[in-house]
Amino acid sequence: MTLAAATNEHLASISNTLIYSSMAVYTLAFFAYIAEWLFGSRSKVGRTAAALTADRGRTAGAPAVTVRRAGGTAVLERPKVVVRSASGARDVPDGPGAHGGDAQGDLYGRIAISLTALAFLVELGGVVARAASVERAPWGNMYEFNITFSTVAVGVYLALLALKKNVRWLGLFLITTVLLDLGLAVTVLYTASDQLVPALHSYWLYIHVSTAIFCGAVFYVGAVATILYLFKDAYENKLQAGGKPGSFATSVLERLPASASLDKFAYRVNAAVFPLWTFTIIAGAIWAGDAWGRYWNWDPKETWSFITWIAYACYLHARATAGWKGRKAAYLALIAFGCWLFNYYGVNIFVSGKHSYADVGLGVLRSTGF
């Protein structure tokens, strides 16, 4: 039996149809998220501004002093004003979320989440059909890695929602980039369904690459939260300094969690998945030993996986060290995620190594993902 005959073209066609259909549903979800942000009530917007303005007002002049008598002795009491905690985070409340806390915005938000869940199921069907068309794991090339990666990223978001985590603010930003990822996958990265090269016929393909995909999806969620943290922190800094942000920035950023909450969320998701990324590299080394006779060859993919590990290790260490929290640690987190992106896109496209199993031709990239 030839390799071409081993491919079920009907299932491959169904997979393509499902991926395009998921993009259509994601687009509807995108517009629903936009409606949630635009038409949600702004009645609760202004919490951060009010909190920081009150703190600034109390600290600008002489603090109020009350006198209390204890057993005939006068005791001076000064009010405790916490503007910035020891971790570098302000004592300000979280925003009310994308919908602003009203019924209309909440309705659009629920529609957006429902469409996101539907799109996730359709895309998952496309990934499963792709796997069934060749009876193997659906991540043998960059196209398959991309569609699986975006599916897992949305799955992580929906799982956080199912766990009653307040992450609805993440939806619009997540779906926007998922659409970009799928657009890149079905155009530049598309590869027809086919069998694997002999080097990839190993059970380690299921272990090593699946963990790499999951880690990347979680790192991505952490990177989005980190970017939003930088915007929210700059907004809070401007308010604290007495500045007046624009109405659009106020409308959007006031609804996000406080910068301290975003910083904590990003740190927790990155820290939670870092041990699994360590396992991913170890699993890859074991696979390399089986396939090439050496556990480590300083192949570009191996090297950049290790660089990514070092970058995230530096971030986690810096985040746990006083003086390197906040913006400095956030920049390290983005550098680390940039290393992960280059490890996938840059190394596969621009660098040749043992992890590249075909050439780039006619706009089609056929290199394997990890």
pLDDT tens digits along 238-269: 888 877 877 777 778 888 888 889 999 999 99
pTM given for the model: 0.81
Q: Specify whether the CB–CB gap between 109 and 175 falls below 8 A.
A: no
Long-range interactions of 59-66: CB distance < 8 A, separation 24+: 59/83
The reported pLDDT for the residue numbered 253 is 84
- Which residues of the chain, if any, have pLDDT below 50? 1-5, 58-70, 72-88, 357-369
Cα–Cα separations (whole angstroms), residue 296 to 113, 126, 206, 288, 303? 44, 35, 20, 7, 9
Digit-coded pLDDT (tens) for 334-343 = 999 999 999 8
**Cα(279)–Cα(295) distance, rounded to whole angstroms?**
14
Residue 324 is given by DSSP the state S
- In angstroms, the first-to-last Cα distance of the chain is 28
* Amino acid type, 204: W
DSSP class of 85: -
